[in-house]
């Protein structure tokens, strides 16, 4: 009866307005049985972390196609840690050059999903890597 | 258009063919799919004949190029006169870097400029704003003040080149800067040619670089219409854009419908503001997408022209033929391009180029093969430009006007898309027009639904994307991608700081406060903005003044 | 419990964790709730309901901003329905309130109905208790006024705001009749649209029919939430209603009723669960059913013996 549902914050950091991918991901996660909260556009890392903490999400899934990922993603990880939420799975996706991925991973982004990723792959990754209650 | 007897004959023979030849073949070989559909969900028949077009009235529905309803094109000679303007959208890093790229492109035979601004500039923030950090110069050029604009067009004669600027919420400010740079080059505003995008409705619906709420935004737009009709007569004051709507996931039919609905809203607003329709309508321009479904795309462009002509003449009572003409820029479909096997994108872009040209575009941007990876490198932009040149000079499709007209299929598709688009436009009218439909999230929801449906089709392999869900290979790392140096941000901030210290700050303050007062009235703001940019008030400062008075838009986020 | 102590000091992560723990009915849930129960009873609970898209979230956002100006700490529970197919949900209210994200005096939590009967109101009851104990002055609960379970949750609020809008077609009919009866304050939002006056008149007529049950005047207010118009009047009405409840002793009555429902619901659910675990999953259920099929026993005797065993 008390089956735990995965809660995800799909977030759009920075000034980037590309939201097609974020919306696709949000709907796909919903259809996979997850509870999805969407941050809306133009969120600062502080706003994203506040929402993640208050909603007690298991996953923060950030979509960014404007090239500001190296600046914004690690900030979110850092602020989450400051709140004591280091067990939250932080994912990134969008147009992110392969060359940047190692840096992002070093900075706490668990995985990065680039164009052409089937949403099923994202769902599987989340199910396998989300924190256990 | 066809003789009744002949049609009967065709009908009988088609029936026989279906029952005989076709049935026989089908009993042995099934067709690839049970249903064939265009991306807009229009059923595609096995065969088109005059039967499907029997209601077409040539003069009423098609007419002659350069004549109402312009289905066949807006000019009487089309590409036999001159080709479309080849205009590659470009801009990154600093004004110096972008200036170099523009001069390279002009050297390579490009015929017009198209400026991409970075996101802080598009959203009215200076490079020294906290929120701009990490975004400066990343996806376009950073312009803070007139100084940057002077650098951007250094050694580019503004009376010779036509410039398109993708700028919306702060369009008034960037247009003012352009006029001011021209002044310094000794070029008067009446000599300027180009376009500002200035289309706020699709920012709310699909693109996301809004600043102010709809009402003051529409006021700024009509201010520009009015100012330009008097001072910059050759300027296209708006580029009503379906491109972004399509890229956000809409179908082809939705693209035309939502774009024309936006167009209707702008014309309504301008008329309400007291402008005469024939005084501004001739300077309205459009911007569409070209995707892979070649014939559907061609039909879409033809529909757009025909519908707009009818709307302007019948709905708005425009009298000047120029007001009826839908002139448009096209860009190939970025979202059709894949990160996998990027060379395949060259072929896709070639097909899309053909669609745009066969559809009668006035100008074209072709996307680069590295579209899904990064901003295009110099090499990949060159290939993209060459693709246009090959279609123009080698393919032969430019030698006669609207060569696909009369194709049973294309004419039928044209009618079908028109029907779908009209249904949408009626629905939007019923909701109170495009602005209201967007406020209620209707348009966003339609787009998001189509986008998700598309994604699911691709993932179910019902729709094949070559190299992505079929015919895959082991991908190798890609070399030579463009990278914007992160130090660009710091340099830009430094430059801005220095300027803010050296300029006449008393003048800046006074021009800004005059602008603030004017914003509270219903005065045309263009002259005030022009005064402010001339004394090097920054874009962010000017936009902040208007933020104070107008407030900021809160998006209707629809999932 | 350490988590409870942290939550009581205002740590949002702890509050958030506790809400999850109770929502998922994890082991520590009861311990935590026991510890917090004595501290409850101070918050004023405001239910806000109405048809989809009527502006409930926008309204809540604005009401909360006004209460913040008055120095109140506010929590919001935004409830959205789960997809009946996947059980997943897009919880879309928060995005309308994103300005409040960084306000230290505000806590927002989105909840999904999770497609479980009664599960929703239970989770909401728990969350309200936690937030109340943690010292929020006001707790807003937003639900769409459609399903019965939503009505049940809203019923438990101290003040019930019913939001409607012009142009719903059948106008008032679109709000559940049951909700009309329990509303304390009626709001005609989107008064910038045509027909707002007509909705007010219709509401007046329908409420008139319901005659006066108590001295409360059931105000009908017009607002344009998106433009922050009429918001102060709504806040004033909520405060006035709160005072009214205090003065008339109705508050105590409502809260007593709320406890009654809560206890009954919990009993029923716990029994159902006990029976399910003990007999259906873990016990001799199938054999007992076999006996019924063979007519060796009858269902009524079986039920009695199951119940006797449960309450033993
Ligand atoms: C569509 C599009 C647009 C549309 C956006 C519509 C919308 N509402 O989203 C429009 C036309 C408006 C647009 C505008 C611009 N664009 Co654009 N756009 C694209 C394009 C062609 C496709 C993106 C897309 O939506 N694909 C479809 C979706 C479903 O895929 P996706 O987002 O990649 O998501 C998938 C994966 O990446 C992953 N994923 C994505 N996010 C996440 C998050 C998580 C957590 C996970 C797990 C997975 C995941 O899963 C998804 C499913 O597979 C890309 C190029 C490309 N082909 O990728 C350029 C691109 C992103 N755009 C670009 C640019 C520069 C712009 C502009 C800034 C141009 C300008 N200067 O004005 C503007 C400004 C937009 C703004 N406000 O920010 C550049 C960015 C360059 C860079 N980062 O270095 C690109 C790469 C094109 C290019 N090569 O120049 N654009
Ligand atoms: N014109 C107008 N629009 C409003 C008003 N209040 C809210 N809206 C808009 O109505 C839409 C829906 O508002 P929400 O606040 O999400 O409505 P809701 O009732 O919470 O919606 P759900 O939670 O989905 O049922 C948004 O686009 C708001 O901006 C108003 O007073 N006038
Ligand atoms: Mg809501």
With contact defined as beta carbons under 8 Å apart, do C121 and C156 qualify?
Answer: yes
**Which residues have C-beta within 8 Å of that of residue B146, sequence separation ≥ 6?**
B177, B180, B181, B533, B534, B536
Kindly tell me if the per-residue pLDDT of C262 is higher than 90: no
From the CA atom positions of chain B, what is the Rg in Å?
Answer: 24
**Burial of B48 (C-beta count, 10 Å sphere; 0-12/13-18/19+):** middle
Cα Rg, chain C, nearest whole Å: 22
Q: Determine what percent of chain C is predicted with pLDDT higher than 90.
A: 56
Within a 13 Å sphere around the CA of C143, how many CA atoms are in the beta-carbon half? 28
For the CA of A116, the nearest atom of ligand 1 = 53
Q: Give C54 Cα–ligand 2 centroid separation in angstroms.
A: 5
Residue B240, preceding bond cis, omega within 30 degrees? no
User: Alpha-carbon distance C188 to C190, whole Å?
Assistant: 7
3-state SS class at B338: coil
H/E run at residue B459: helix B442-459
Q: How many Cβ atoms sit within 10 Å of the Cβ of residue B155?
A: 8
Token code pair at residue C212: 């006066």
Residue found under tokens 């490198």: B377
Please check whether residue B501 lies inside any domain of the structure: no
Cβ count near B104 (within 10 Å): 14
**Which of chain A's residues have a Cβ under 8 Å away from the Cβ of C89?**
30, 35-36
- For residue C146, give the 3-state DSSP assignment: coil
Give the ligand whose atoms come closest to the C-alpha of residue B202: 1
In sign, the C-alpha dihedral spanning B392, B397, B402, B405 is negative
Would you say the CB of residue C143 lies under 6 angstroms from ligand 2? Answer: no
**Does the C-beta of C190 come closer than 6 Å to ligand 2?**
yes
Contact A2, C123 (CB under 8 A): no
* Contact predicate C55/C162, CB 8 Å: no
Q: Does B554 touch chain C (CB under 8 A)?
A: yes
Beta carbons of B257 and B429 less than 8 angstroms apart = no
pLDDT of residue C85: 81
Q: How far is CA B429 from the centre of its chain?
A: 23
Please check the confidence at residue B93 and state whether its pLDDT lies above 90: no
Cβ distance C58 to C94 under 8 Å? Answer: no
Tell the residue number behind the tokens 């996998």, with chain if given: B340
Report which secondary-structure segment, H or E, holds A100.
none
Lowest mean pLDDT segment, chosen from B32-46, B514-528, C109-123, C257-271: C109-123
Interface partners of chain B (CB pairs < 8 Å, 3 or more) are A, C
Chain A residues near residue B209 by CB distance under 8 angstroms: 17
Q: What pLDDT sits at residue B147?
A: 98
Digit-coded pLDDT (tens) for B101-112: 899 889 888 878
The mean predicted confidence, pLDDT, of chain A is: 95
What tens digit of pLDDT does each residue of B120-141 get?
999 999 999 999 999 999 999 9
ipTM of the complex: 0.96
Of ligand 1's listed atoms, the one at least distance from the Cα of A20 is 9
Distance CA C183, CA C160 (A): 5
Binned at pLDDT 50, 70 and 90, residue A79 comes out as: very high
Q: Is C230 in the pocket of ligand 2 (CB under 6 A)?
A: no
**Band of pLDDT at residue C175, cut at 50, 70 and 90:** low
Q: Give the pLDDT of residue A2.
A: 39
Class of domain A7-122 (CATH, top level): alpha beta
Q: Which of B194, B130, B132, B131 is nearest to B159 (CA)?
A: B194
Segment B344-362 shows an average pLDDT of 98
Report the pLDDT averaged over residues C95-121.
Answer: 84
Q: How far apart are the first and last CA of chain A?
A: 15
List Cβ neighbours of B271 (8 Å cut-off, separation of 6 or more).
Answer: B277, B316
C 127-166 residues with CB < 8 A to B: none
Asked if B209 lies within 8 A of A67 by C-beta distance, the reply is no
pLDDT in tens, B189-207: 999 999 999 999 999 999 9
Q: Please work out whether the CB of residue C53 comes within 6 Å of at least one atom of ligand 2.
A: yes
Concatenating the DSSP letter of every residue in B145-163 gives: SHHHHHHHTTT--TTTSEE
Is residue A1 over pLDDT 50? no
- Residue C149 pLDDT exceeds 80: no
Residue A104 Cβ inside 6 Å of ligand 1? The answer reads no
Inside any domain, residue B536: no
Closest residue by Cα to residue B202 from B290, B80, B321, B288: B288
Q: Which chains touch C (3 or more CB pairs under 8 A)?
A: A, B
**For the residues C151-166, what does the mean pLDDT come to?**
86
Q: Supply B386's token pair.
A: 């060459």
Atom 1 (ligand 2): residue with closest C-alpha?
A: C190
In this model, does residue C306 exceed pLDDT 70? yes
Distance CA C312, CA C304 (A): 12
Q: CB distance A47–C101 less than 8 Å?
A: yes
Q: What phi-psi label fits residue B500: left (phi over 0), alpha (psi between -120 and 50 degrees) or beta?
A: alpha
Give the residue from chain A lying closest to C76, CA to CA.
A54
Higher pLDDT, B81 or C167: B81
For B:307-366, CB contacts with A below 8 A are: 335, 338-340
What CA–CA distance (Å, rounded) separates B214 from B220? Answer: 10
Burial of B52 (0-12, 13-18, 19+ CB in 10 A): middle
Shortest CA gap B456–chain C (Å)? 16
Average confidence (pLDDT) over B432-437: 95
Q: Which ligand is nearest to the CA of B93?
A: 1
User: Considering only alpha carbons, which residue of chain B is nearest residue A64?
Assistant: B135
Instruction: Work out the average pLDDT over B341-345.
Output: 97
Contact between B467 and B338 under an 8 Å Cβ cutoff? The reply is yes
Report chain C's terminal Cα–Cα distance, integer Å. 31
Whether C66 has a pLDDT exceeding 50, the answer reads yes
What is the C-alpha separation between B218 and B264, in angstroms, rounded? 13
Indicate whether residue B374 lines ligand 1 (CB < 6 A). yes
Cβ–Cβ gap B557/C226 under 8 Å: no
Q: Give the ligand at the shortest distance from the Cα of C76.
A: 3
Q: What pLDDT digit, counting tens, does each position of A38-70 carry?
A: 999 999 999 999 999 999 999 999 999 999 999
Output the residue whose Cα is nearest ligand 1's atom 68.
B139
Spacing, Cα B132 to ligand 2 middle (Å): 30
* Protein residue closest via CA to atom 12 of ligand 2: C53
Interchain pair A39, C90: CB under 8 A? no
Q: Which residue carries 């070989």 as its tokens? A: B29
Q: B130 in contact with C at a CB cutoff of 8 Å? A: no
Angle at B389 between CA B388 and CA B394, to 5 degrees: 110
- For residue C246, count other CB atoms closer than 10 A to its CB: 13
**Cβ-based contacts of A29 with chain C (< 8 Å):** 88
Residue C170: the pLDDT is 58
pLDDT of residue C173: 59
Cross-chain Cβ contact C89/A30 below 8 Å = yes
Which secondary-structure segment (H or E) carries A106?
Answer: helix A101-106
For ligand 1, say whether the CB of A100 is within 6 Å of any of its atoms. no
Q: Give residue B128's domain range.
A: 58-459
Residue A63, ligand 1, Cβ within 6 A: yes
Element spanning C270, H or E? helix C250-275
**pLDDT tens for residues C131-145?**
999 999 999 999 887
> Which chain C residues contact residue A4 at CB under 8 A?
24
For the Cβ of C19 lying below 6 angstroms from any atom of ligand 2, the answer is: no
Whether the full predicted model's pTM is greater than 0.80, yes or no, is yes
Report the alpha-carbon distance of residue A47 to residue B309 in Å, rounded: 47
pLDDT at C115: 57
Q: Would you tell me how many other CB atoms lie within 10 Å of the CB of residue C277?
A: 12
Q: Which residues of A touch B (CB under 8 A)?
A: 14-20, 23-24, 26-28, 38, 40-42, 44, 66-68, 70-72, 95, 97-98, 114-116, 118-120
Q: Give the residue from B159, B214, B149, B205 showing the smallest Cα distance to B180.
A: B149
Confidence of residue B418 (pLDDT cuts 50, 70, 90): very high
């Amino acid at each position: 009866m008390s089956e735990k549902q995965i809660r995800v914050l799909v977030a759009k950091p920075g000034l980037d307005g590309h939201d097609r991918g974020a919306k696709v991901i949000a709907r796909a996660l919903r259809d996979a049985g997850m509870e999805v909260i969407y941050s809306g556009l133009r969120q600062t890392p502080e706003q994203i972390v506040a929402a993640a903490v208050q909603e007690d999400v298991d996953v923060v899934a950030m979509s960014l196609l404007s090239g500001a990922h190296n600046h914004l993603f690690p900030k979110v990880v850092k602020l989450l840690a400051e709140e004591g939420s280091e067990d939250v799975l932080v994912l990134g996706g969008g147009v992110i050059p392969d060359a940047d991925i190692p840096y992002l991973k070093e900075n706490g982004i668990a995985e990065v999903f680039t164009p052409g990723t089937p949403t099923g792959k994202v769902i599987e990754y989340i199910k396998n890597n989300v924190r256990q209650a | 258009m066809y003789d009744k007897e002949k049609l009967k004959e065709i009908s009988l023979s088609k029936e026989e063919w279906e029952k005989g030849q076709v049935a026989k073949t089908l009993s042995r070989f099934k067709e690839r799919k049970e249903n064939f559909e265009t991306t807009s969900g229009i059923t595609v028949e096995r065969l088109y004949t005059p039967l499907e077009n029997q209601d077409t009235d040539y003069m009423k529905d098609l007419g002659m190029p350069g004549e109402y309803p312009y289905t066949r094109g807006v000019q009487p000679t089309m590409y036999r006169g001159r080709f479309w303007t080849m205009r590659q959208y470009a801009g990154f890093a600093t004004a110096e870097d972008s200036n170099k790229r523009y001069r390279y492109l002009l050297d390579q035979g490009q015929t017009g400029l198209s400026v991409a601004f970075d996101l802080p500039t598009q959203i009215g923030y200076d490079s020294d704003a906290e929120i701009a950090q990490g975004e400066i110069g990343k996806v376009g050029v950073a312009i803070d003040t007139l100084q940057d604009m002077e650098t951007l067009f250094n050694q580019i004669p503004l009376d010779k080149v036509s410039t398109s600027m993708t700028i919306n919420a702060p369009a008034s400010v960037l247009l003012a800067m352009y006029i001011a740079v021209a002044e310094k080059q000794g070029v008067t505003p009446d000599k300027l040619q180009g376009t500002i995008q200035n289309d706020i409705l699709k920012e709310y619906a699909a693109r996301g670089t809004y600043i102010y709420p709809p009402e003051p935004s529409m006021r700024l737009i009509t201010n520009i219409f009015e100012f330009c009709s008097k001072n910059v007569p050759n300027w296209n004051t708006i580029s009503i854009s379906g491109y972004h709507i399509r890229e956000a996931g809409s179908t082809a039919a939705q693209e035309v419908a939502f774009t024309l609905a936006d167009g209707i809203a702008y014309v309504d607003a301008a008329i309400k503001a007291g402008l005469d329709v024939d005084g501004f309508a001739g300077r309205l321009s459009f911007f569409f997408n070209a995707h892979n479904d070649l014939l559907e795309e061609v039909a879409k462009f033809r529909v757009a022209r025909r519908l707009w002509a009818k709307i302007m003449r019948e709905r708005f009572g425009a009298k000047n033929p120029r007001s009826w003409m839908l002139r448009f820029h096209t860009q190939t479909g970025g979202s059709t391009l894949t990160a996998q096997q990027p060379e395949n994108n060259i072929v896709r872009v070639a097909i899309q180029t053909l669609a745009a040209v066969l559809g009668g575009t006035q100008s074209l941007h072709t996307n680069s093969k590295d579209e899904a990876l990064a901003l295009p490198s110099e090499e990949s932009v060159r290939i993209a430009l060459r693709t246009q040149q090959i279609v123009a000079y080698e393919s032969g499709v430019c030698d006669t006007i609207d060569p696909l007209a009369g194709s049973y299929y294309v004419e039928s598709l044209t009618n079908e898309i028109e029907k779908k688009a009209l249904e949408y436009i009626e629905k939007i009218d019923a909701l109170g027009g495009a602005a209201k439909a967007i406020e209620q999230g209707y348009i966003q929801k339609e787009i998001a639904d189509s986008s998700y449906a598309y994604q699911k089709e691709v993932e179910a392999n019902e729709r094949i994307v070559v190299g992505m869900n079929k015919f895959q290979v082991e991908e190798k790392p890609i070399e030579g991608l463009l990278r914007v140096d992160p130090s660009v941000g710091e340099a830009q901030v430094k430059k801005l700081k220095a300027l803010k210290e050296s300029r006449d700050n008393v003048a800046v303050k006074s021009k800004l406060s005059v602008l603030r007062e004017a914003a509270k009235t219903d005065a045309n703001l263009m002259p005030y903005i022009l005064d402010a940019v001339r004394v090097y008030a920054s874009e962010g400062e000017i936009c902040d003044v208007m933020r104070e008075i107008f407030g900021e838009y809160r998006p209707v986020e629809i999932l | 419990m350490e988590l409870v102590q942290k939550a009581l000091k205002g740590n949002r992560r702890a509050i958030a964790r506790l809400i999850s723990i109770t929502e998922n009915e994890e082991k520590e849930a009861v311990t935590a709730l026991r510890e917090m129960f004595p501290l409850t009873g101070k918050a004023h609970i405001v239910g806000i309901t109405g048809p989809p898209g009527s502006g409930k979230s926008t309204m809540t956002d604005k009401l909360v901003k006004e209460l913040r100006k008055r120095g109140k700490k506010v929590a919001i529970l935004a409830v959205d329905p789960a997809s009946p197919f996947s059980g997943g949900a897009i919880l879309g209210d928060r995005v309308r309130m994103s300005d409040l994200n960084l306000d230290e005096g505000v806590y927002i939590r989105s909840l999904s109905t999770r497609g479980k009967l009664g599960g929703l109101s239970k989770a909401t009851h728990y969350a309200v208790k936690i937030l109340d104990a943690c010292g929020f002055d006001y707790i807003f609960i937003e639900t769409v006024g459609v399903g019965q379970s939503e009505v049940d949750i809203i019923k438990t609020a101290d003040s019930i705001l019913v939001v409607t809008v012009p142009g719903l077609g059948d106008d008032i009919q679109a709000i559940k009749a049951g909700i009309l009866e329990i509303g304390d304050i009626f709001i005609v939002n989107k008064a910038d649209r045509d027909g707002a006056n007509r909705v007010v008149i219709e509401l007046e007529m329908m409420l008139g029919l319901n005659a006066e049950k108590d001295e409360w005047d059931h105000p009908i207010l017009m607002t344009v939430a998106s433009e922050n118009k009429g918001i102060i009047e709504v806040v004033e009405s909520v405060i006035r209603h709160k005072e009214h409840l205090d003065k008339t002793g109705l508050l105590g009555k409502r809260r007593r009723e709320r406890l009654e429902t809560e206890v009954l619901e919990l009993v029923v659910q716990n029994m159902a669960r006990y029976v399910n675990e003990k007999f259906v999953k873990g016990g001799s259920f199938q054999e007992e059913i076999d006996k019924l099929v063979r007519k060796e026993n009858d269902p009524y005797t079986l039920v009695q013996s199951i119940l006797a065993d449960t309450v033993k």
